[in-house]
Chain A
Amino acid sequence: MSLKRMVVILVGFYCLMGVMPLFFGGTDYIMNILIMILIWAVVASCWDVIMGFAGIFSFGQVAFYVVGAYASAILSVSLHVPPVYAILLAAVITGLFGVLVGLPCLKLAGPYVALVTFAVHMTLVPFLRGPMGRAIGSGGAQGILTVPPVSLFGMTFSSEHLVPFFYLTLFLTIICTIILVLVIKSYWGTAFLALKDSENFAASLGISAFKYKLMVFGLTSFITGLFGALYAHYVGMLSTRMLSMDVFTILMIMIVIGGIGKYPGVVVGAVITVTLNQFLAPMGMYRPLIMGAIVVVLVLFLRDGLVNPIIRLISSRQKAGRTGEYLS
């Protein structure tokens, strides 16, 4: 996708999101959904950059998100670090963790990367629930129930002050989105495309796959950790349920709807998925049933996700329209 089109879509999207509180500022239910959309949009975008652009088949995205959340919560609850610094520190910790995970596995072939990263994901559950987690302050199975809200410039940002928190999230979202767009459209992005096309050929040009993959892995882990931490201070409570397959699948649906490597389709994917998930919540056990069916159908029938074909349809119509005008 061209840079121009990408920027137009993203700017349009964030402008729209930016004015939403004017209409729904008083409705907690909808504000909560909007905030979750912003958070998930970035987390899913990071995954898209890892999978779609860097071609790293990582299953560790939820794990990084949780590491960020827990790191920040533990720092601020057990060590009394002010939340703002805790969030930044947690992002750095997650970034380093990402590099640590990346070191052994990024040299491996596709499915093995999935294996190792998913193993990390699964190890986190007994680790955080068990005695070791409790020793570092994870609260065991009960989790952490008293994560303090962010206060900055004398203002409090938390689930009780939704509008300020929304704008704080929006601000961070925009910064991270700019970083991701720069990555995709930079020399790195081009290098990745080259790597995806032919690793051997790219290597002969002097592009080191490993170095770039590790860099992008670290960076996306950093951003994911940042939003995990932000989320921790938003809900104020954490538990290992965040690592359930349900959350993992929801994140995956965003990518499937958006199309892998079709950034920023995944952002729209996040909007649709978060809204749909909330909308289906009152249906109890039929919600995951429907979500599962959606994944199966979309993977089976949509090569590039749901968003891209629509864009193509609209732009081809526009073109057709214009040619029509031109002729008449």
Chain B
Amino acid sequence: MKKTGFLAVVCAIVMLSGVSGYSADTIKVGVPLAETGAYAGSGDNYWKGIDMAINEINKGGGLLGKQLEVVRFDSQEFAPEVVMQGANYLCGKMKVASVHAGWAGWGQDIRAYGKYDAPFFCDDGAMPAVDVYKSNPEKYSNTYFITDTGGDQANSMFSMLTALPYEYPNKKIVIINTDDAWGMEVGDTLSKRFKKIGWKVAKRETVPYGTNEWGPILTKIRRINPAIIHIEIPSSQEVITFFRQFIKQPTNSILSYGWSITPLEVLTTLGKDADGIVGEMPAGMPAPKAPNSKSQAWVDQYMSIYKHPVPAGSWIAYTSVMAWADAVKAVGDEYDFKAVNKHLKEAGYEGLQGRIKFGENNTLHAQPAAPIVHYQVQDGKLVALFTDPPLKPYGDYKFQVPRWIKK
């Protein structure tokens, strides 16, 4: 009988130790992304950028003469133990040389990967994650936030909304956000900023993910008839159903979608119906015309591979892989984490839109080389109106008053 337990344990050991075939002629890169579950769409966007960068490096002869090898891990919906499992698997077991994660959590990821030294690039965009970093900057020094936090992005949205060449009929705003760290942060910041300049936050609604029936909320919105409705839900279903139900009896409001404009499905599903909605993308690539020919070539290449416009996250995920590869090349040893981290922090990286540099809290704050881009949907496409910082109009593109606003 002892044998049974013994057998099971032996099986377990064999299974655990069997997979760690370790070869030195490739460089392993860890990619923990949400492949399943609610965030799988955003995970897919990051993956496309990362995959493109890795293929490009490999086609160009690899890094330090070695090919890059991707090790993927499904971080599902970022349950803490799953994220920790991923860190232990990628860094502890597979000994990857860097980790490119995209949106990886709201702090649990920083703790899990902070135990190791390999550079960890994440796009958490939420204050709680930065707070974890700040609790021990020494230990978490391998963490790189590749976009600003929700609060900073909301400040930029506020500047854009007040800078729009449009006269608001009243000073009432309705803010709808999700119940997670990201949504609350954006909602709080926006409502604080608008109150300060004398606006009234006529309704602030926090909704759970999966809200598809907007009737009760829209009923209230119609009575308020606000000048701005801001929606901050980083998931496509909810914002599409909201728009469809809003448009059947619209109010004279600017629809500001914030980051929620970026999930791929919003535009592929709504198409030209969505014309007029405004939104933003942090560390984004201005469109439809890229700022320079190098960027334009990249955008064209992206479109030819994936057959759709560049969604949020793809470009910056691509750039962070390239930035890491650049640092490794400069250092000459992919496992000299100390030197790689030092180079990344001090030298930055000459990206497509200019030299990017990580600033305070190892965050890639909005900067001319990785700007927050504010778009409006025109003719079914994202059209950049502003880039920030500094907030300035982009190209010759002009704001159009949405068709549902009656004079």
Direct contact of A and B (CB under 8 A): yes
Q: Which of these binds chain B: A56-64, A216-224, A240-248?
A: A240-248
Q: Looking at chain B, what size class is its interface with the partner chain? A: 35 or more
Q: Using a Cβ–Cβ cut-off of 8 Å, how many residues does chain A contribute to the interface with B?
A: 55
Interface residues of B in 11-58 (CB under 8 A from A): 11-12, 15-16, 19, 35-36
Residue of B nearest to A7 (CB): B1
Does B394 have its Cβ within 8 Å of any Cβ on chain A? Answer: no
Q: Considering the chains assembled together, what is the distance between the CA atoms of A31 and B73 in angstroms? A: 19
Interface residues of B in 148-183 (CB under 8 A from A): 178-181
Interface residues, chain A, CB within 8 Å of chain B? 5, 8-9, 12-13, 16-17, 20, 27-30, 32-33, 36, 126, 129-130, 140-143, 145-146, 159-160, 235-239, 241-242, 244, 246, 267-268, 271-272, 275-276, 278-279, 281-285, 287-288, 307, 310-311, 314-315
Inter-chain contacts of B79 with A (CB < 8 A): 239, 241-242, 244
Q: Considering the chains assembled together, what is the distance between the CA atoms of A285 and B43 in angstroms? A: 13
Q: Taking A8-B1, A237-B107, A244-B79 as contacts, is the C-beta distance between A282 and B15 under 8 angstroms?
A: no
Q: Considering the chains assembled together, what is the distance between the CA atoms of A242 and B72 in angstroms? A: 23
19 new A-B contacts at CB < 8 Å, known A141-B179, A275-B11: A9-B2, A9-B5, A13-B5, A27-B93, A130-B179, A140-B184, A145-B132, A159-B84, A239-B108, A241-B77, A246-B76, A267-B5, A271-B9, A275-B16, A281-B85, A281-B86, A284-B35, A284-B74, A287-B74
Q: Give the dominant DSSP class at B's interface.
A: helix
Does B106 have its Cβ within 8 Å of any Cβ on chain A? Answer: yes
Interface residues, chain B, CB within 8 Å of chain A? 1-6, 8-9, 11-12, 15-16, 19, 35-36, 71-74, 76-82, 84-86, 88-89, 92-93, 106-108, 111, 115, 126, 128, 132, 135, 178-181, 184, 208
| Contact between A8 and B2, CB atoms less than 8 A apart | yes
Q: Considering the chains assembled together, what is the distance between the CA atoms of A83 and B74 in angstroms? A: 32
Q: Considering the chains assembled together, what is the distance between the CA atoms of A160 and B84 in angstroms? A: 11
Residue of B nearest to A125 (CB): B208
| Contact between A142 and B180, CB atoms less than 8 A apart | yes
| Contact between A28 and B92, CB atoms less than 8 A apart | yes
Inter-chain contacts of B181 with A (CB < 8 A): 141-142
Q: Taking A141-B180, A237-B108 as contacts, is the C-beta distance between A160 and B115 under 8 angstroms?
A: yes
| Contact between B85 and A311, CB atoms less than 8 A apart | no
The 21 listed contacts between A and B (C-beta, < 8 Å) are: A9-B5, A13-B9, A28-B92, A28-B115, A30-B16, A36-B81, A126-B208, A141-B178, A142-B180, A146-B132, A235-B81, A235-B84, A237-B111, A239-B80, A241-B82, A268-B8, A275-B16, A281-B89, A288-B36, A307-B4, A314-B1
